[in-house]
């Protein structure tokens, strides 16, 4: 294996807001970038509707005067921490309404734009960047935020349109993405498992007050953790990226520090769910967790080489700890 075995491979991670890329699959992005792949983060919205969640910035003139501008700076720092490239897709943040999405979200926001229109800039990005692998969210958005749900629909539509030579030729030459994954790094079953392990060890769980919400989410959708990436050594890069979003993250916050520490000890991997596989390899068994350890397993390089069906990353050293716990 060469020093940069993933040189020539490209991963496009599509996210709804700035900071999502740092809390969902961030260590995986950092790992692939470090191993030679080009990793491009596409952020659908500017996060204009975000609140200031860090008490230290509540009195910051810049944060209160121009949160959109500040979030652009934060995003640049986060991408640098992950070793990734970044592009803004250009939609407007829909916010998180307390009631019905359809009646409370203003016109012109990302959630309101028809999928066939909202996908166009992403089709162009896919055709320009030519990723072999794309990551996005599942049909429930991972959690019920309108922009996350929309992110799923628009990404899947863009992947299909980008491969169609008859669709929008003005947006570039067609490009067929070989694999699409749903990011399940924040799956409810993951946090439920960590919570149960900590309680069994007689430790105070940082997830105790959230556990009923996790169980409700887990009952709404069965998350298939088909693929896990051993990336514990990149958790530092992940945390630096997340803290870069200072308007959104309180580094002294109990949940932030305790949850990250718990994950390092009890779950040092990040998970994805295979949604599209056009590699021609033997398909994975639906619903069985932890079958794969490389997002690029089975994909073709531009020069015709093929990543082995089992991938190039070694099996996770955490296999014995995690095997069967989330199946």
Cβ-based neighbours of 202, under 8 Å, separated by 6 or more: none
Give the largest Cα separation in the chain, rounded: 61
Task: Quote helix, strand, coil % in the chain, to nearest 5.
Answer: 40, 15, 45
Summarize the annotated binding site for Zn(2+) as residue ranges: 17, 20, 148
Question: What are residue 11's phi and psi, to 5 degrees?
Answer: -120, 125
Q: How far apart are CA 131 and CA 13, in angstroms?
A: 10
Taking the alpha carbons of 42, 60, 50, 142 in that order, is the dihedral positive or negative? positive
**Secondary structure class of 275 (helix, strand, coil):** strand
Nearest CA among 309, 270, 246, 316 for reference residue 76: 246
Cβ-based neighbours of 191, under 8 Å, separated by 6 or more: 207, 210, 211, 214, 259
Cβ-based neighbours of 270, under 8 Å, separated by 6 or more: 25, 26, 27, 28, 185, 228, 229, 231
Q: How far apart are CA 37 and CA 203, in angstroms?
A: 39
Q: How far apart are CA 42 and CA 39, in angstroms?
A: 10
């Amino acid at each position: 294996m060469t020093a940069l075995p993933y040189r020539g491979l490209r991963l496009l991670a599509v996210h709804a807001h700035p900071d999502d890329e740092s809390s969902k699959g961030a260590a995986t992005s950092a790992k692939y970038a470090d191993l030679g792949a080009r990793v491009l983060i596409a952020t659908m919205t500017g996060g204009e509707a975000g609140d200031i969640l860090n008490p230290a910035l509540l009195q910051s003139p810049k944060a209160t005067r121009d949160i959109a501008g500040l979030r652009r700076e934060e995003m640049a720092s986060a991408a640098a921490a992950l070793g990734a490239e970044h592009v803004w897709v250009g939609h407007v943040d829909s916010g998180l309404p307390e009631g019905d999405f359809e009646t409370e979200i203003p016109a012109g926001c990302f959630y309101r734009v028809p999928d066939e229109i909202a996908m166009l800039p992403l089709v162009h990005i896919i055709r320009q960047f030519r990723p072999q692998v794309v990551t996005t969210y599942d049909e429930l958005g991972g959690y019920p935020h309108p922009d996350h749900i929309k992110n799923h629909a628009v990404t899947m539509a863009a992947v299909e349109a980008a491969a169609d030579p008859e669709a929008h030729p003005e947006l570039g030459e067609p490009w067929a993405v070989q694999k699409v994954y749903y990011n399940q790094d924040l799956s409810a079953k993951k946090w439920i498992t960590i919570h149960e392990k900590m309680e069994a060890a007689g430790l105070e769980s940082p997830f105790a007050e959230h556990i009923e919400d996790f169980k409700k989410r887990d009952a709404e959708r069965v998350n298939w953790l088909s693929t896990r990436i051993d990336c514990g050594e990149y958790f530092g890069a992940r945390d630096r990226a997340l803290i870069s979003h200072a308007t959104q993250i309180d580094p002294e916050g109990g949940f932030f520090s305790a949850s990250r520490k718990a994950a390092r000890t009890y779950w040092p991997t990040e998970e994805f769910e295979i949604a599209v596989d056009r590699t021609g390899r033997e398909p994975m068994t639906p619903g069985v967790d932890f079958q794969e350890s490389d997002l690029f397993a089975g994909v073709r390089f531009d020069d015709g080489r093929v990543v082995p069906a089992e991938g190039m990353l070694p099996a996770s050293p955490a296999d014995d700890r995690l095997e069967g716990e989330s199946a």
